[in-house]
A and B are shown apart, each in its own frame.
Chain A
Amino acid sequence: NAGVMQNPRHLVRRRGQEARLRCSPMKGHSHVYWYRQLPEEGLKFMVYLQKENIIDESGMPKERFSAEFPKEGPSILRIQQVVRGDSAAYFCASSRTGGDDTEAFFGQGTRLTVV
């Protein structure tokens, strides 16, 4: 049973380009969380999705950022018109349910560098 798969592991974008980060949850998991880790900081929650639904996007910046988790395929975190401040590691986690007692498994992360 493969773990949470994120790709690409490293992504370099020029300012103004779009970044698309992919996350395939563990088999049997229908809940996906995206977190951002800025250099020298902890992880900050961005968005929580279930299949085809956004459950909680309270941590998402209001502009340029969007996320989806379609019925088929991976979850996508999309950042439009990237700026240098978007440079960070983006982690995806998945869980079987969304309850308190469910363990979340993390992917290896995508390290985005905006030049």
Chain B
Amino acid sequence: GEDVEQSLFLSVREGDSSVINCTYTDSSSTYLYWYKQEPGAGLQLLTYIFSNMDMKQDQRLTVLLNKKDKHLSLRIADTQTGDSAIYFCAPRGSSNTGKLIFGQGTTLQVKP
């Protein structure tokens, strides 16, 4: 079945860049999403990339996609303490039912 892998934890200093990595197995995924989850809250869609793109930039967020290696990354520039959260990579499944396949999530800790 489809699988998504992420590193579990990342710690950075405020003002630095953060890079969160994700690998996935379903090569037919057409849309790949990044969600943010703050403690006790639901998921907030941050950004997404279509599979025919290599890069997408959205203010402080940059998504890079290497479709050949099935590797996705999210870069947060000038990381702030408010960015501390769990970040989930979620490719859209290939079954065309629209369901998302989530990784375990990467906990980003931003130190002042």
Using a CB–CB cutoff of 8 Å, the interface residues on chain A facing chain B are 4, 31, 33, 35, 40-45, 48, 55-56, 59, 91, 93, 95, 97-109
Contacts and interface: CB of A to CB of B under 8 A. Distances in A.
Interface string B69-112: 00000000000000000001000110111111111110000000
Interface in B19-49: 30-31, 35, 41-45, 48
Interface residues of B, number: 25
Given A100-B31, A101-B31, A45 B100 contact: yes
A69 to B, nearest CB: 14
B97 A55 contact: yes
B98 A98 contact: yes
Tell which of B95, B100, B103 has the most Cβ of chain A within 10 Å: B100
A91 B30 contact: no
Given A106-B42, A106-B43, A108-B42, A45 B98 contact: no
A13 B50 CA distance: 42
Chain A to chain B: the 10 pairs with minimum beta-carbon distance, closest first:
A42-B102, A106-B43, A98-B98, A43-B102, A108-B42, A56-B97, A106-B42, A42-B104, A100-B30, A45-B99
B102 A95 contact: no
Contacts of B100: 33, 35, 43, 45, 93, 104
A35 B22 CA distance: 20
Interface of B: 4, 30-31, 35, 41-45, 48, 50, 88, 92-93, 95-105
Given A41-B104, A42-B105, A56 B95 contact: yes
Contacts of A99: 96, 98
Nearest to A107: B42
Contacts of B41: 108-109
A67 to B, nearest CB: 13
